[in-house]
Amino acid sequence: MTCVDLTLQEAHEERLRLLLARTDGTEAAAYVLLGANKIARDPWTGRRRLRLVSHEVVPIFERDIISSDACHISWRTDGFIALIARAKREGLVPAIVHTHPSGAAGFSEQDDRNEPGLHQIVMNRNGPDMPLASLLLSGGTMWSGRVWMDRGAPIPFDHVSLVGRRFRQIRPAFSDGALDSTLDRQVRMFGPEANAVLRGLRVAVVGCGGTGSAVAMLLARLGVGGLVLLDKDIVEVSNLNRLHGATRVDADAMCAKADVVAASIASMGLGVRAVPICQWVDHPDARDALKACDVVFGCTDDHGGRMLLDRYARFYCVPVIDVGLAIEPRPEGGFAEMSARVTVLVDGAPCLVCRGVVDGRAAAEEALKRADPAEYDRRKREAYVRGGGDPAPAVVTCTTQAAAMAVDELLQGITDFRGEGGWAWNRVRRLDRGIERKPGAVQRAGCGICGDPMIVGRGDVEPFLDRVS
Ligand SMILES: [Zn+2]
Ligand SMILES: [Zn+2]
């Protein structure tokens, strides 16, 4: 059976709660258009998964409500017909939303009788494999839901995630109730709920170098349930000064970094399922695994990979925590720059292009270097491309500190332990001075990444992320 989950944008969740609030204790209803994220093979279970993400809230007007009381609601279906026509045109999944003001968490028998008819209308008009989602808000705060598909019984959501300034998850997928004593000391800091959320998380670490290997190890020790480790590189002797989990034997055997980090995590015996994928992030083989994740850490140092993840964060409403390290020694001694940067990418946050962290020209040059090294070298000789220069300085204390900052930001998004009201979009720590800043950024008018609401929660489109490579 397909496994189904739902991501609600925080702003949509707030809007729905406002739209559906009634002072007289009667039920209320609305629609949502959802982006579809179809995963042919989940990296942990091997099963098919459908992840739905909120793209737009569509109100049902008061005049269309036929009747409602404390335990039922009915409304005219003209609006529903218009909704599914739009869903068909734009490749979206229609959803109905209703409330149980009494707090009854499950769907009622009346719901069970009505919804198959609505799904039949969807199948008649949009095609026999078109699903209908049904979201339920119980007692004004508790979200649950299900999906009607394939003419069978409805499939309940495995979990519901709320994504925005913070990350919340209802009913974590891997929640096994009895977390073992390895995480006891952590419970004493964040309480049992945070542990359950961490256990339910599926996280991708893109880039398993100095920073990425440290991020992966920290996530495993925090008890994150599922990890995907993405990197095509192999371990070299020059990495051993900072690559957590790697040994000289790995370098001599030219083992893949992703394999080495995954093996090291498996040997911890913490029940963390780490899946290595020895591929670049833009490769189709990495796509399902990336789309299966709740949070992604961007630990690459290339412009193209970062731009891809920035778009991914917005299309799928999956927070990307991007990590960067800048170390620039001065010839006369000391450092012009020695800082770690952690940037959260999600709807509402400026993108890395608007922040001046990545640029399109550098991304194009990297793509050329990979696809056609001879042409890249020719252009470099003729100074058409800028070239990489010497390898950047890298020290394990710096890469590991950047990793700890990034993983702390995830904890901040889940627990708000800093009491700051969710994530800082951007945090820069001067490592040689112990100073931390949160530099802002101006979103460029009409930015194609962070200024286009139409891509947010859009889910699958052809080509992937609407990128032409
Ligand atoms: Zn109901
Ligand atoms: Zn932007």
Q: Residue 307 CA: which ligand is closest?
A: 2
Q: Is 28 helix (H, G, I), strand (E, B) or coil?
A: coil
pLDDT in the model for residue 469: 55
Handedness of CA 239, 242, 243, 245 (dihedral sign): positive
Please name every residue paired with 217 in a beta bridge, in sequence order, or none if there are none: none
CA 130 – ligand 1 centroid, Å: 22
Name the residues around ion ligand 2, CB cutoff 5 A.
Answer: 351, 354, 447, 449-450
Q: What is the residue type of 130?
A: M
CA 108 – ligand 1 centroid, Å: 5
Contact 62, 20 (CB under 8 A): no
φ/ψ (deg, to 5) at 32: -140, 140
CA 442 – ligand 2 centroid, Å: 8
CA 222 – ligand 2 centroid, Å: 32
Taking the CB of residue 458, how many other CB atoms lie within 10 A of it? Answer: 25
Contact 228, 277 (CB under 8 A): yes
CA 210 – ligand 2 centroid, Å: 28
- The structural domains of the chain, ordered by start, are 3-158 (3.40.140), 181-466 (3.40.50.720)
Contact 311, 298 (CB under 8 A): no
Q: Is 343 helix (H, G, I), strand (E, B) or coil?
A: strand
- Tell me which DSSP letter residue 453 carries: G
pLDDT in the model for residue 404: 98
Residue closest to 84 by CA, chosen among 115, 125, 50, 116: 125
CA 447 – ligand 2 centroid, Å: 5
d(CA 135, CA 469): 37
pLDDT in the model for residue 277: 98
CA 452 – ligand 2 centroid, Å: 9
d(CA 30, CA 84): 14
CA 296 – ligand 2 centroid, Å: 19
CA 365 – ligand 2 centroid, Å: 20
Contact 289, 277 (CB under 8 A): yes
CA 1 – ligand 1 centroid, Å: 24
CA 97 – ligand 1 centroid, Å: 9
Tens digit of each residue's pLDDT, the chain (469 residues): 789 999 999 999 999 999 999 999 999 999 999 999 999 999 999 999 999 999 999 999 988 999 999 989 999 989 999 999 999 999 999 999 999 998 888 999 999 999 999 999 999 999 999 999 999 999 999 999 999 998 889 999 999 999 999 999 986 544 554 556 888 888 888 888 888 889 889 999 999 999 999 999 999 999 999 999 999 999 999 999 999 999 999 999 999 999 999 999 999 999 999 999 999 998 988 999 999 999 999 999 889 999 999 999 999 999 999 999 999 999 999 899 999 999 999 999 999 999 999 987 888 888 778 888 888 787 777 766 655 556 788 899 999 999 999 999 999 999 999 998 899 999 999 999 999 999 999 889 899 999 999 999 999 999 999 987 5
CA 461 – ligand 2 centroid, Å: 20
Q: Which residue has the tokens 């491309």?
A: 385
CA 98 – ligand 1 centroid, Å: 6
CA 457 – ligand 2 centroid, Å: 16
CA 312 – ligand 2 centroid, Å: 13
Q: Residue 99 CA: which ligand is closest?
A: 1
Contact 431, 398 (CB under 8 A): yes
Q: Residue 314 CA: which ligand is closest?
A: 2
pLDDT in the model for residue 151: 80
CA 248 – ligand 2 centroid, Å: 42
Contact partners, residue 455, CB within 8 Å, separation at least 6: 311, 314, 315, 449, 466
Q: Residue 443 CA: which ligand is closest?
A: 2
d(CA 89, CA 374): 44
CA 39 – ligand 1 centroid, Å: 29
Q: What secondary structure does DSSP assign to 400-441, as a single string?
A: HHHHHHHHHHHHHHHH-TT-SSS--SEEEEETTTTEEE----
Helices (H), 209-330: 210-222, 248-252, 257-266, 284-291, 303-316
Burial class (CB in 10 A: 0-12, 13-18, 19+), 23: exposed
Q: What is the residue type of 166?
A: R
CA 347 – ligand 1 centroid, Å: 31
CA 224 – ligand 2 centroid, Å: 30
CA 439 – ligand 2 centroid, Å: 15
- Tell me which DSSP letter residue 225 carries: S
CA 412 – ligand 1 centroid, Å: 35
CA 149 – ligand 1 centroid, Å: 19
d(CA 253, CA 324): 29
Distances (CA, A) of 56 to 62, 266, 317: 19, 41, 13
Residue closest to 94 by CA, chosen among 131, 47, 51, 46: 131
CA 138 – ligand 1 centroid, Å: 9
d(CA 28, CA 100): 8
Biggest distance spanned by C-alpha atoms of the chain? 79
Q: What secondary structure does DSSP assign to 123-159, as a single string?
A: HHHH-TT--EEEEEEETTTEEEEEEE-TTSSPEEPS-
